[in-house]
Structure 1
Amino acid sequence: MAIAVVILLLVLVSVIFHFASPWWFTPIASNWTAIDDTISITFWITGIVFILVNAFLAFCVFRFRFKKNHRADYEPENKKLEVWLTVITTIGVAAMLAPGLVVWGQFVTVPENAKIFEVVGQQWHWSYRLPGKDGVLGQSAVELISETNPFGLNPDDLNAHDDILIPSNVMHIVIDQPVKVMLRSKDVLHNFAVPQFRVKMDLVPGIETFLWFTPTRLGRFEMLCEELCGMAHYTMRGQIVVDTAQDYQAWLDKQFTFRESLDAPAGDLQLGQSLYASCAVCHGNNAQGNETLNAPMLAGQSAWYLTRQLHYYQNKIRGSNQQDTYGQQMSAMANTLVDAKAIKDVTAYIASLPALAIFPASVNNDSLARSIESGQRLFTNCAYCHGDNAEGRFALNAPRLAGQHAWYLKRQLQHYRASIRGSHREDIYGSQMLLMSRLLQNEQAIDDVIAYISRLTPSLAKQTKKVQPEKVLGLDHKQQEVSQ
């Protein structure tokens, strides 16, 4: 009797929790109400079956409970019961599947007036591409991807030249305009999902998949990767902004085409050197950094990373937090570079400087040895993006860490953990680092991982002269050039 009561109570609590639960659908913002209706039909059918089956179970537990001197009847077959169960089950399954098949037919039938844009997924961020005036997306291939061609477009394909490139994680679309979303992956399996639009689809390497929807509500909606795609999968987030036609056009006019990226002039080292003169006051003539002035080492850092940070400073994506004193100073200095050409020139010059290495003190006590050993274990998470030797990886948008001053690395990790850096919604990679930094649970963990990074010597991009230090100054560091 007690077991039967418990079963009925569990059913009652489950039903109440279902209707009273705060975890329900987000407000819909697209044309796919049919998907909600299909899910509701499935819930009602499975819910009724759940109640009936458990009610029957409770009845059987009570009706056929143990009684002394009673014997159970053995009935191996009951054709009437089997027929009823088969018919009812078939009707229930058909009632669940039929609406889904109808909706799926609509889901794969794209309206003729739908606009097209492409979503490109890679570990662990999103980027987008729009067709130009010809209305055709150009050819792309993974083997064509490089620092100057991150989308991997074919420069010999004329259809690709007017393609509009959006290397941000934010995409804009027009309200009430059907859009066909082409999906492409650079590396592994990803999944495009926007809960408010009720759409999701896998991005499969080597295959171009698609979906479509019509946005019906203005606003900014989070885009998620709902396929486990690696260590930082949970940080792979983007945004879809639904605009009016006027706001969308204003945004579109600011974007650039593939042809423009091909025609962009290379950085001028001579002009970059003259522009760097003001940077050298803090960062040093050789970009070696200066702890007294809180200026990090720039030598050895890639031009693409330096360019991104300068744009972030100029646009207040970085350095806008009131607690980031040095970031605010850099924001003011970055704005002395008048245009994108000036940024390209100065970053090209910095990237041309010989990479420097920092030689920490030798390990001469057990405490430091244990710290480095702990840091090596913690760095396993960092190595997925930054490389085994902290050399940085362009493919994962991760900068070089090896050779950087320990005090600067520590301050940045502390800023990430405190949301001083990385909290701006347009700081794509900073927001990922904000989440990853919290894997370091305390100050000791930060010190340990930095102690390990300080002893890494990556292969450098340029051949430089190796000079052994005449004197080791512990963690005060003496900069010396090292060979590849």
Structure 2
Amino acid sequence: MAMAIILVLIVIASVLFHLLAPWHAAPPASNWGSIDTTLFITLVISGIFFIAITVFMAVAVMRFRHKEGVRAAYQPENKRLEFWLIVVTSIGIAGMLAPGLVVYNDFIRVPKNAYELEVVAQQWQWAFRFPGQDGKLGKSDIKLVDSVNPLGLDPKDPVGQDDVIVRSNEVRLPIDQPVKVLLRSKDVLHNFYIPQIRSKMDMVPGMVSYFWFTPTVMGKYEVLCAEYCGVGHYNMRGNMIVVDQAAFAQWLGSQPTFAQTLTTAARPGRDSVLEKGRQLVEQYGCHACHSQDGSASLGPGWKGLYGRTEQLADGSSVQVDEAYLKESILDPKARLVQGYPPVMVAYTLKDDELAALIALIKSLGAGQPAEEPSTGDVSGSGDDLVAQGQRLAQSLGCLACHSVDGSKGIGPGWQGLYGKAETLADGTSIKVDEGYLKESVLNPAAKIVKGYAAVMPPFTPSDKELNALIAFIKSKANADAESSKAEPGKSP
């Protein structure tokens, strides 16, 4: 009886959850509303079968439950039942399959007036190409890819000279204009996905796949890679901005043609070296892990990096000069900066390519060399300590459970946490100070904040790492807590 009731409750809860849940897909911003219809048909058919099978199980449990003196009847074959099961199942499968085949047939039948857009993927970035005045895309070959020609276009093909190159993760398209999207990958399997457009297609190395759509709503839409493509997959994002025809024409006219990129690369001087460095960054996807604007990322940011003293994972320090940068590119695991995981692969670049990359890093500003910390003192200034703590929080995965923007997480959020009084699971309260934070890192189960599960594992960071983490948490305190914040490494 209890099992039958549970099965019925599961059915009721599932139906109510679907009908009352606030989580629904945003309306499509393209002509592919039929994809939503197909998904709805699949959901309805699957739901009908789910309800029917679960209710049948509940009835069977009730009707055929064990009774004293009643013996189960054995029926080895029932052709009538088998016939209807096959018929009903076939109808259900056909009902789900047929709409998908119809929509997919439309998905790859491109209108004659479609505007072509080529999307080129590589770890971990996007690039785009539009046809020039002739309305045709030039030939390309993966063998022609280099720092000057990252898309591998044929410089001898006159058709491709006026092709418009967009070396950015952001692309613009005109509203109400059908677009044929040509997809190719330079390295591994990727997937071009724009959720609001309802468009998604694999990008297979050595192949050119395609689909088409018509953007119908102006706005900014996120482009995602929906196929795991390596350590920087999470950061392989872009934007598609839908604008009116006039704005699109103006934007497209401001982008360089293939011929212009070749001319720029041939110019002598410092600017051409920096341009080559930027091209190498795009070619190898360096910016997926190394930011150039000072923001945190998977690897050390390049802004203000050159000339700075960095603390290494083994406790020593190094000044970032040309020799260190060369070593870090050719043998990234030789001397790891503290707080960053050893995920970078080794590159074998030519001398001129190394020089161009280093010149670009140097152009992003030089950092001030830090003094060597004295024994027993916390390394670095307050700002350096906070940055180090932020890197540790990222590399150790702290931010997966502890938010820094006030949002709810698995563990207590760090915004405004320091100096706040927290109620513990045992009913007592405690003020969040350095002592409590240290204890919570080293022995998380000692004092659990009320409302949170005891799921955090203990960590054993060094004293320097512990002080850096606490400095980062303190930096996220509110204005009142900030006014009473003590120097890093000292008790408040």
Q: TM-score range by the shorter chain?
A: 0.5 to 0.7
Structure 1 residues 78 and 37, CA gap change in structure 2 (3 angstroms): same
Measured in 2, the distance between the counterparts of 1:266 and 1:25 equals 49
Structure 1 residues 167 and 301, CA gap change in structure 2 (3 angstroms): closer
Compute the TM-score of the two structures, normalised by the length of structure 1. 0.63
SS in 1 for 2:43: helix
For structure 2, the residue ranges without an aligned partner over 5 or more in a row are 297-301, 306-320, 326-333, 371-379, 399-440, 442-460, 466-492
Larger RCO (CA within 8 A; separation ≥ 6)? 1
Q: Deviations over 1:228-280 (max 9, x none)?
A: 111111111111100001111121121000001112264544xx5xx9xxxxx
2:165 and 2:256 in contact (8 A); partners too: yes
Q: Deviations over 1:431-461 (max 9, x none)?
A: xxx9x9823557969988xxxxxxxxxxxxx
1:4 and 1:62 in contact (8 A); partners too: yes
1:387 and 1:393 in contact (8 A); partners too: no
Residue of structure 2 in register with 1:75 after alignment: 75
Measured in 1, the distance between the counterparts of 2:384 and 2:141 equals 36
Counterpart of 2:394 (choices 438, 458, 464) is 438
Higher helix share: 1
Q: Deviations over 1:50-75 (max 9, x none)?
A: 00100000000010111111100000
Measured in 2, the distance between the counterparts of 1:30 and 1:155 equals 35
Residue of structure 1 in register with 2:277 after alignment: 304
Residue of structure 2 in register with 1:380 after alignment: 342
Residue of structure 2 in register with 1:66 after alignment: 66
Q: Deviations over 1:113-139 (max 9, x none)?
A: 100010000000101000111111111
Residue of structure 2 in register with 1:19 after alignment: 19
Please give the residue correspondences for 1:143-222 in structure 2 after superposition, counting only pairs within 5 Å: 143-222=143-222
SS in 2 for 1:67: coil
Residue of structure 2 in register with 1:230 after alignment: 230
1:160 and 1:258 in contact (8 A); partners too: yes
2:394 partner amino acid = R
Measured in 1, the distance between the counterparts of 2:76 and 2:353 equals 67
SS in 2 for 1:44: helix
SS in 2 for 1:82: helix
Measured in 2, the distance between the counterparts of 1:248 and 1:134 equals 17
Within the alignment, does 1:115 sit opposite 2:115 as a pair?
A: yes
How many residues of Structure 1 are paired with residues of Structure 2 in the alignment? Answer: 354
2:395 partner amino acid = L
Question: 1:2 deviation in Å?
Answer: 0.3
Residue of structure 1 in register with 2:30 after alignment: 30
Structure 1 residues 393 and 440, CA gap change in structure 2 (3 angstroms): farther
Question: 1:305 deviation in Å?
Answer: 4.2
SS in 2 for 1:256: coil
Measured in 2, the distance between the counterparts of 1:222 and 1:97 equals 29
Question: 1:20 deviation in Å?
Answer: 2.4
Identity of aligned residues (%): 41
1:438 partner amino acid = Q
Measured in 2, the distance between the counterparts of 1:237 and 1:445 equals 35
Residue of structure 2 in register with 1:132 after alignment: 132
What value does the CA root-mean-square deviation take over the aligned residues?
4.5
Question: 1:329 deviation in Å?
Answer: 11
Please give the residue correspondences for 1:31-50 in structure 2 after superposition, counting only pairs within 5 Å: 31-50=31-50
For structure 1, the residue ranges without an aligned partner over 5 or more in a row are 276-299, 322-326, 331-353, 359-371, 419-433, 449-484
Measured in 1, the distance between the counterparts of 2:173 and 2:396 equals 38
Structure 1 residues 227 and 74, CA gap change in structure 2 (3 angstroms): same
Question: 1:379 deviation in Å?
Answer: 3.4
2:162 and 2:259 in contact (8 A); partners too: yes
SS in 1 for 2:53: helix
Measured in 1, the distance between the counterparts of 2:215 and 2:194 equals 11
Deviates more, 1:1-10 or 1:78-87: 78-87
Structure 1 residues 201 and 263, CA gap change in structure 2 (3 angstroms): same
1:439 partner amino acid = S
Question: 1:209 deviation in Å?
Answer: 0.4
